[in-house]
Each structure stands twice: as C-alpha cells, then as structure tokens.
Amino acid sequence: MQVEYINPFIISAIEIFEKVAKIELKKSNLTVKKGTTPENEISIVIGLSGDFMGQVVYSFKRHTAQRVVSCMMPNASADKQMAYMESAISSMANMITGRATILLAGKEKIIYITPPTVAISAKTEMKYSDIPTLSTEFTSRFGTLQINVAIRPK
C-alpha cells in the first residue's frame, strides 16, 4: 500500500475538523499494520468502491467523540448532543471520506462510498481483506483520533 493513498484522508481530516468543529488536529504518527484492530471504543467504518476499493476506519475514545460532538452542535443541550453522538461522528467520517475521494479521484475517476457503520466496543476485530492498512494518529485538545486506511485502485 502506497503512502500517497492516506494523504488525502490526512488533509481532509484536518480540513473537515477545522470547518465543522473548529478543532485543530495534529498528525502524530503513521504506521503500517496487518489485520487492523482499531484501538479505541468507537469506530466508524466506511467502504470504498468504484475506481478504488477497500475500507477506512475512524476510531475515537468515547470521551473524545463526546467532546467533538459538543463542538459540532455547541448550541444543543447535553441530552441532544448525547442522542446525536453516533450520528454526528458518522457525518464527520462521511465528510472526511467524501472530501478525500475528491482528492483521490482527480478528474476522471469515480469512487463511491458506503453509508457509515458504527461499531462500539473496547476493541473491535476488523478484517481488511488482503489490503495492508496505513494507520495515522492525530492529536487534538480532546484526545487522539485514529484513521486506518486499507484501500487500493481497482
């Protein structure tokens, strides 16, 4: 797997977090994994198809996800923020992936994505087929966030 495939996701994550939640993300490290298990409690899985295939997994600690959501809907009550937590985090993952596909697709290619699937548990076992995974960690004032990208051109 080539490093350039993860760069669009890194650029998009920084942009979208800033735009939607006014949160500054800093890239901390990049690692290559085999069968990846996201390390945090809340994971959002989005599949890619079309001219690229594979999947992307966004993973957050619960308290980080809660704080991010509170920045995405600052005027809502705590109850409402709680009720919309999974949905708001899913929309963030959807927008980051969507923005990244614009950068990956260029002018000719078309990439489709699946609706986000939310997985909640301490450690979710996830198989990424045979595609190696590039994992990036970001730090923010609310904790870390991980993006795992296992994609390749069709």
Partner 1 sequence: MASILLADDISFIKLVQKEVLEKGGFTVIGEASDGIEVVEMYKKLKPDVVIMDITMPRMDGLNAMRAILRMDSNARIIICSALGQQQLIIEAIKAGARDFIVKPFDPGRLNLAIQKALK
Q: Which residues contribute to the site for partner 1 (CB under 8 A)?
A: 16, 19-20, 72-73, 84, 87-88, 90-91, 94-95, 97-99, 101-102, 105, 107-116
Q: Which of 32, 110 has the CB closer to partner 1?
A: 110
CB of 68 to partner 1, least distance (A): 12
Tell me the three-class secondary structure of 40-77, residue by residue. CCEEEEEEEEECEEEEEEEEECHHHHHHHHHHHCCCCC
CB of 112 to partner 1, least distance (A): 7
Q: Which of 97, 148 has the CB closer to partner 1?
A: 97
Q: Which of 30, 110 has the CB closer to partner 1?
A: 110
146 DSSP β-pair partners: 59, 137
Please report which residue ranges of the chain form alpha helices under DSSP H: 7-21, 62-72, 78-83, 85-105
**Nearest-angstrom CA–CA distance, 95 and 120:** 20
Q: Which of 109, 127 has the CB closer to partner 1?
A: 109
Residue 53 has φ and ψ, to the nearest 5°, of: -135, 160
CB of 53 to partner 1, least distance (A): 15
Q: Which of 78, 122 has the CB closer to partner 1?
A: 78
Return the DSSP state at 102. H
Which is nearest to 43 in space by CA: 101, 124, 131, 97?
124
CB of 95 to partner 1, least distance (A): 5
